Amino acid sequence: EREPEPCPTREPPKIQPVAPPGPTRWGICSAGAISHDFVVALKTLPPSEHTVAAVAARDLGRAQDFARRFGIPRAYGSYEELAEDPDLDVVYVGVVNPAHLPTGLLFLRRGRAVLMEKPMGLRACEVAQLVGTARERGVFLMEGFWTRFFPAWRRLRALAVEGALGSPLVLRGALGFALGGVPRLREPGLGGGVLLDLGGYGLQMALALLGGGPSPSLWAHGVLHETGMD
């Protein structure tokens, strides 16, 4: 009997070195105060992880001033130009509240990931439209509640989930600023009011800790300004 022929030997596959991922490239939509604060915070992170690649405002001069202040390489005089920039990973949208829906849709429909400054929309139907568009296009969309990333908040959530706090029934919170001189907060057309501004922080904490299910019941009590805003 003949010995079986040996199996042919193969060279082991060459493993190509994997290049480390580059930094997340941010586009900044709007050159206002909240976008300024966001970029200041972003600049505290290593440039190997995050970089601001472009900024857009409705006025090119303001966008250019913003870019010079923060060393941003590209400035645009329209949001449409920012949406067409191919070298972006995510867009931070810091426009005024009533513009969140149309501006968010602009970027989502271009397939852009979006971090939307709070509130995501002025009404539930606006939020549903933004979320539906993001799911349809398969892109990332998030509302910018930065407190959810604080270590203290993560620890509190973990304790609640583990049952270490029992069954939370009441959350009492207070948040106050002297904002009487901010006309935007009193104007319905500008998305004013407490809950669409700072009050959302307490509300999202209550929903996260006390919701108990997908459809919690909500009651609101408050005082209305003469303009009709809460």
- The question of whether 43 is a catalytic residue gets the answer no
Please work out, in degrees rounded to the nearest 5, the angle formed at the alpha carbon of residue 82 by the alpha carbons of 78 and 83.
Answer: 110
Instruction: Say if residue 31 is exposed, middle or buried (CB neighbours under 10 Å; 0-12, 13-18, 19+).
Output: buried
Q: Do residues 54 and 88 touch, judged by C-beta distance below 8 A? A: yes
Q: Do residues 79 and 60 touch, judged by C-beta distance below 8 A? A: no
Catalytic residue among 82, 118, 119, 127: 118
Q: State the sign of the Cα–Cα–Cα–Cα dihedral 103, 44, 73, 75.
A: positive
DSSP symbol at 184: G
CA distance 94 to 118: 9
Spatial CB neighbours of 139, under 8 Å, sequence gap ≥ 6: 108, 111, 112, 113, 114
Q: Which residues are catalytic?
A: 118
